[in-house]
């Protein structure tokens, strides 16, 4: 599930000035009128801003903003299921005095594309790397977490070639993430993939602050964006340890390596420097947020019965 905010003045940190952005076209917008604000797959990582009230910042939603989503569901059971996607927002109904704003920064090995890349190998270990991103604004980093597909081991976020955060995958950490044995007496649907037995149940995250009392988080090695830096992400896969999902022809399915970072920006937001005059078209599947709210927590999408990508 990818969550977007569409509205005047929204600029996608990594796709603005970068030509076409397919996910934003998908919701009828552009990088000069929207941003990829949240995403979650099977790992269902919650987004915690202003944890325990210790960070006086939140994601300011204005009356002109709309929300849009791309939802990708996958049923690996042999029978039909009714599923619900639930997103829970915590908010305060104003922008409190002295609070800063929060901006998402989306890193992707298929930056501004569909996020899906072909696995470069059919077995063993490999690494997929994003294009470098150079920030043009200097602010504090609040936190970052990664997203991989089955077969993934860890997602590294690097600043100038040094590891800033290692987002480690846990596979099958909960019975809900272990596929039931197939009933071989039943014929397979003609388009069925052959799924790995264990699926990613968690991705660890890194925080810039003290994690709000959460002692299991990792600290960010770099806590500030600077225009002299170059940021990349590396997705580490190892099919010898963690089998991937196979297409019908037996080939490894396409994979992803994504990280979403949140940075603290001034109350009034920031303007990116790349010139672009494209304007936002109205979002199609948009749900209008109530005006002037300030989101402080966004737990991961909760999906019942089926896996989400």
What residues make contact with Cu ion under the rule CB under 5 A?
41, 256, 309
7 close to 34: Cβ distance less than 8 angstroms: yes
- Beta carbons within 8 Å of 87's beta carbon, 6+ residues apart: 1, 3, 298, 299, 301, 302
Nearer of residues 256 and 261 to Cu ion, judged by Cβ: 256
Nearer of residues 64 and 309 to Cu ion, judged by Cβ: 309
Q: Least distance to Cu ion from the beta carbon of 80, Å?
A: 23
- Exposure string over 88-97, b if 16+ CB within 10 A, otherwise e: ebebeeebee
Nearer of residues 13 and 200 to Cu ion, judged by Cβ: 200
76 close to 307: Cβ distance less than 8 angstroms: yes
Q: Least distance to Cu ion from the beta carbon of 197, Å?
A: 18
Q: Least distance to Cu ion from the beta carbon of 255, Å?
A: 8
**Kind and range of the H or E run holding 22:** helix 22-26
Q: Least distance to Cu ion from the beta carbon of 242, Å?
A: 15
Q: Least distance to Cu ion from the beta carbon of 307, Å?
A: 10
Please state the φ and ψ torsions of residue 304, each to the nearest 5 degrees: -105, 140
**Of 148, 182, 155, 1, residue with least CA distance to 74:** 1
Nearer of residues 41 and 135 to Cu ion, judged by Cβ: 41
By beta carbon distance, the residue nearest Cu ion is 256
Nearer of residues 41 and 58 to Cu ion, judged by Cβ: 41
Q: Least distance to Cu ion from the beta carbon of 3, Å?
A: 14
- Token pair listed for 246: 């196979």
139 close to 265: Cβ distance less than 8 angstroms: yes
Alpha-carbon torsion (290, 9, 12, 160), positive or negative? negative
**Kind and range of the H or E run holding 25:** helix 22-26
Nearer of residues 43 and 65 to Cu ion, judged by Cβ: 43
């Amino acid at each position: 599930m990818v969550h977007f905010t569409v509205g005047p003045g929204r600029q996608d940190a990594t796709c603005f000035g970068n030509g076409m952005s397919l996910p934003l076209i998908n919701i009828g917008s552009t990088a000069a009128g929207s941003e990829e604000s949240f995403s979650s797959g099977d790992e269902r990582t919650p987004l915690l801003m202003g944890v325990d009230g210790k960070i006086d910042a939140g994601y300011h939603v204005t009356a002109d903003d709309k929300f849009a989503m791309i939802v990708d569901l996958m049923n690996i059971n042999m029978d039909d299921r009714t599923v619900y996607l639930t997103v829970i927002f915590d908010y305060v109904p104003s922008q409190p005095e002295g609070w800063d704003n929060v901006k998402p920064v989306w890193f992707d090995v298929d930056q501004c594309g569909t996020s899906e890349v072909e696995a470069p190998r059919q077995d063993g270990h490999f690494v997929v790397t994003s294009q470098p991103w150079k920030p043009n604004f200097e602010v504090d980093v609040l936190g970052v977490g990664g997203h991989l597909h089955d077969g993934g081991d860890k997602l590294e976020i690097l600043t100038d070639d040094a590891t800033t955060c290692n987002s480690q995958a846990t596979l099958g950490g909960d019975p809900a993430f272990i596929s039931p044995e197939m009933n071989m007496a039943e014929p397979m649907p003609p388009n069925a993939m052959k799924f790995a037995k264990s699926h990613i149940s968690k991705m660890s995250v890194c925080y810039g602050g003290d994690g709000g009392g959460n002692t299991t988080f990792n600290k960010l090695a770099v806590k500030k964006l600077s225009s002299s830096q170059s940021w990349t992400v590396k997705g580490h896969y190892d099919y010898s340890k963690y089998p991937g999902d196979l297409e019908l022809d037996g080939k490894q399915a396409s994979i992803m390596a994504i990280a979403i970072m949140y940075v603290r920006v001034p109350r009034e937001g920031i303007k990116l420097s790349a010139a672009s005059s494209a304007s936002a078209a109205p979002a199609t599947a948009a749900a209008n947020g109530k005006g002037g709210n300030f989101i402080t927590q966004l737990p991961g999408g909760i999906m019942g019965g089926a896996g989400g990508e």
